[in-house]
A and B are shown apart, each in its own frame.
Chain A
Amino acid sequence: DGGITQSPKYLFRKEGQNVTLSCEQNLNHDAMYWYRQDPGQGLRLIYYSQIVNDFQKGDIAEGYSVSREKKESFPLTVTSAQKNPTAFYLCASKRDRLNTEAFFGQGTRLTVV
């Protein structure tokens, strides 16, 4: 069954720690994206990658980092520089960068304690 897998579903982090959220897809999609979702706000783009070994900053990249070493994988690291990291994080993929639909993972809820 093709799809996108995010892990873990819930993540708790102490202030000052870096954490990495996993995103794996087996859809053979070129483009992958990380979004952040907060109550009352639309999804906001953190980073995107249109091809392996290349990625670009989105609208709210500060305090985050990514890598795209394999087509299937696009992990997101939330660093200690991110001032308000508690949120619901969504990973998505698209067949290509053009106007096709996105497929989303089930999300990771990160809470800073």
Chain B
Amino acid sequence: EDQVTQSPEALRLQEGESSSLNCSYTVSGLRGLFWYRQDPGKGPEFLFTLYSAGEEKEKERLKATLTKKESFLHITAPKPEDSATYLCAVQAGSGGYQKVTFGTGTKLQVIP
């Protein structure tokens, strides 16, 4: 069974204090790994897609990386507006339907 585990469950940072969020996965036939940001009471917003080990993508203060077993979302010099829950999802399998499995998320709070 495909599994996606995110850690930590919650993270509190001071403004400007860089850190990383982890997404470890066990799937058969990874097709893509996705990062989303979700604000309270709203739907997830797409951030990145990573397809193969060694791939990296950046957007403003965020950088996502991928290895064969895990992905990291690095947050450099975070600001209070980066406070949100960050979700990781993996798409795996082949054929007519490729299953997407979501992690439970990391709730990030950035303190001014």
Contacts and interface: CB of A to CB of B under 8 A. Distances in A.
Interface of A: 4, 6, 35, 40-45, 48, 50, 56, 90, 92, 97-107, 109
B42 A106 contact: yes
12 contacts: A42-B4, A43-B87, A48-B97, A92-B43, A98-B31, A98-B98, A99-B91, A102-B34, A103-B46, A104-B36, A104-B43, A104-B45
Contacts of A41: 104
Given A56-B97, A99-B98, A107-B43, 13 more contacts: A42-B104, A43-B44, A45-B100, A90-B43, A90-B44, A97-B96, A98-B98, A99-B49, A100-B32, A101-B46, A101-B49, A102-B34, A103-B46
A4 B46 CA distance: 13
Interface string B26-49: 000001101010000111111001
Nearest to A38: B104
Contacts of A106: 42-43
A101 B34 contact: yes
Interface of B: 4, 31-32, 34, 36, 41-46, 49, 51, 87, 89, 91, 96-98, 100-105
B10 to A, nearest CB: 11
Q: Which are the 7 A-B pairs with shortest beta-carbon distances?
A: A104-B43, A99-B32, A42-B102, A99-B31, A43-B102, A101-B46, A99-B91
Contact of B46 (A35, A56, A102): A102
A42 B36 CA distance: 12
Contacts of B49: 99-101
A104 B51 contact: no
Contacts of A45: 100
A42 B101 CA distance: 8
Contacts of B97: 48, 50, 56, 97
Contact of B43 (A44, A56, A97, A105): A105
B71 to A, nearest CB: 14
